[in-house]
Amino acid sequence: MTVTRKRSRGKTSPKRMYFTQDHEDAIVRYCSSDCIKEKTDLYVKWIQPAFNEMVDKIVFTYKFTNLPNIDELREDCKVWLTTILEKYDPNRGSKAFSYFSVITKNWFIHKVKKNTKRAQREVDYEDAQAEIAEKMVTHDNLWLKNKEQEEYWQHFYAEVEGWGKLQMTENEKIVYDAVRTLFNSVDQLDILNKKAVYLYLREITGLNTKQIVSQLNKMRKRYATFKDNWDNCKF
């Protein structure tokens, strides 16, 4: 013999026992009542506990817990629900539970979108700031590098000029003057390599390569001293 069990009408799903037909009826009575005391009693006894549980479950179910300050947002939503409570119209066919569940979920979705936009603006702002800072650093580094090179050559030219006061042999003096001539005419010369420099010096001095190299070696020692002083900030 087969036993047919009858489903009880109006029975609430165990998943949402916190929002029963009694809570539905309480909301309908609240919206239609003009008595402040009755509305207060209905809200405190039936509506507020249901809203609290509904908001908490929606936050957990849809993982809105990832939102920053979720505890504050949760309370803000509960307060907001009280401000729109009287907008519910049972004559439109939707149950109170469905109506308030949907608008609660949408309220949090709006917060998610707003938070995402804010985070993106912050990222864009940080990226823009980083790009500007990088350009400024690059510009400053380039300026400092050019400035350092300019100061280096100014000091080096002054150093070479100072060598002229030193006691020199005849050939040394000839090569020194030739080197100064090259320095002063560097923008007008097409000096591409070391061999070209020797050719210019031979033409200017009338000395052979061996004689020129012998005198240049003395200048290299002076230059080494200058470079060491420069690298160690002794100027």
Q: Alpha-carbon distance 33 to 21, whole Å?
A: 18
- Residue 134, pLDDT score: 64
Contact 33, 42 (CB under 8 A): yes
* pTM recorded for the entire structure: 0.45
- Residue 141, pLDDT score: 62
- Residue 202, pLDDT score: 81
- Residue 29, pLDDT score: 93
- Residue 191, pLDDT score: 54
Residue 14 amino acid letter: P
DSSP per residue, 150-205 = HHHHHHHHHHHHHHTTS---HHHHHHHHHHHHHHHTGGG----SHHHHHHHHHHHH
- Residue 77, pLDDT score: 92
Contact 218, 172 (CB under 8 A): yes
pLDDT tens, N- to C-terminus, the chain (235 residues): 444 444 444 444 445 577 889 999 999 999 999 998 999 999 999 999 999 999 999 999 888 888 888 899 999 999 999 998 988 888 888 889 989 999 999 999 998 888 888 777 755 555 656 666 566 556 556 666 676 777 777 777 788 788 888 888 888 888 888 888 777 766 655 555 666 777 778 888 888 888 888 878 888 888 888 888 777 765 5
DSSP per residue, 113-164 = HHHHHHHHHHHHHHHHHHHHHHHHHHHHHHHHHHHHHHHHHHHHHHHHHHHT
Q: What is the DSSP letter of 84?
A: S
- 219's enclosing H/E stretch is helix 209-231
- Residue 18, pLDDT score: 76
Q: Exposed, middle or buried by CB within 10 Å (0-12, 13-18, 19+), for 21? A: middle
**How far, CA to CA in Å, does 234 sit from each of 22, 157, 229?**
92, 16, 5
Query: Tokens 């700031």, residue?
Result: 129
Q: Alpha-carbon distance 219 to 156, whole Å?
A: 12
- Domain regions of the chain by residue span: 16-118, 164-231
- Residue 188, pLDDT score: 56
Q: Alpha-carbon distance 39 to 27, whole Å?
A: 9
- Residue 133, pLDDT score: 56
Q: Could you give the 3-state DSSP secondary structure of residue 18?
A: coil
- Residue 115, pLDDT score: 85
Q: Alpha-carbon distance 189 to 124, whole Å?
A: 51
Q: Alpha-carbon distance 98 to 24, whole Å?
A: 10
